[in-house]
Structure formats: C-alpha cells, structure tokens
Amino acid sequence: NPHYESTAANHSPIQRGDLILFDFWAHLPDPGAIYADYTWMTFAGTCEEIPLRQREVFEIVKRARDAAIAFVRQRLADNQPVEGRQVDDVTRAVIAEAGYADYFIHRTGHSIGTVVHGNGANLDNYETQDDRVLLPNTCCSVEPGIYLPEFGIRSEVNLLVFEHDAEITGVPPQQEITPLL
C-alpha cells in the first residue's frame, strides 16, 4: 500500500531492521501558504545493515525521479510545453526498464498549492492520463515508487515550474536510504 497509514487498530512499534517510509507535508500558518510535500526513506539500523535489494530498488526510484525532473527542465529550456502525462511516461519507462513496471501503482506526482493535492496538472498517465500543461509559477510533486510484497520505496520532491526552467524547492533530493543508527 503506497499510502499506508497507521491507526490505533493497525500499528506496530518500529524495530531494528525496519525500512520506514516517511510521507510528510506542511505549510506556514497563513491561509495563502503553499504546501511542501515530501517522502523520505529511512532504515532502523546502520548503513551497513540496509539490505542490498532495498538499496538497489531505491537507486531505481531515484533514477526515475531524476529522469522526470531532467525531462521537465529540458522541455522548458527548449520552450516546449510539458504535459503531466509525458512526465509520468518518462518516470515509468525507467522503472519498467528495471523490471518493476507492475510495482509502480500510482501516478508520478500531483499539483501542489494551498491544498496539498492542488488543482493543477498532475504527473499522471496511469490514473487519469492528464494532458494538462505544467504552467509557470506552479508547483508539483515528483514521487515515483516501487511497492513490492516485502517492502515499498518512494522518493518525493517538490518541483517549482518557471517559464523556461524548474527547480527543486525545500530540502535537497534524497540520494540514499538514511540509516537511523
């Protein structure tokens, strides 16, 4: 489940050896404030204890995330429109090439505004085939993921779109699973 949420009836303590997906969002206490929305992968253990397969899957997700960002930036630099579905296709191609197409089970990203899931173009050719163009001065998430029966990995950044470029806002993109010990 890419959006698992623990409840009073469905939870367990974090234990050494657990892979932890933190999905968090917030905004300043102003009615017009824009949200920030991130996903970060951590491991309850040392760097040396992170299983190789989890590292490998993270690298694929990272490549997919970075390919999406590079695609958006290149299209904008070339003064070409960028449709949400095109970005999703680029991301999915990276994951499919690695053999995990069936395990990427949501869109690549969503619009972000004064609500965490905004009204602009979504990076989606999976759920809604969004052909809307990313507009200047809008923000979206880029959050590919691979969800296997044993574990799931996602990496999420926020991308602020300008007329001829885009930039990642907030924290720098995660480059590896973060050990907690």
Question: Strand, helix or coil at 43?
Answer: strand
Delineate the domains of the chain, giving CATH numbers in brackets: 24-179 (3.90.230.10)
Percent above pLDDT 90 for the chain: 89
How far, in Å, are 6, 13, 146 from residue 157 at the CA level? 23, 27, 16
Q: How far apart are CA 103 and CA 166, in angstroms?
A: 28
Residues in a beta bridge with 168: 159
Mean pLDDT of 89-110: 99
Distance (Å) of CA 31 to CA 34, 66, 95, 116: 9, 32, 38, 13
pTM, to two decimals: 0.95
Output the CA–CA distances (angstroms, integers) from residue 2 to 11, 32, 163, in the order listed. 16, 29, 32
Amino acid 172: pLDDT:
94
Question: Structure tokens of 131?
Answer: 């052909």
Confidence grade of residue 8 (pLDDT, cut at 50, 70, 90): confident
Q: Cα 17 from chain centroid?
A: 23
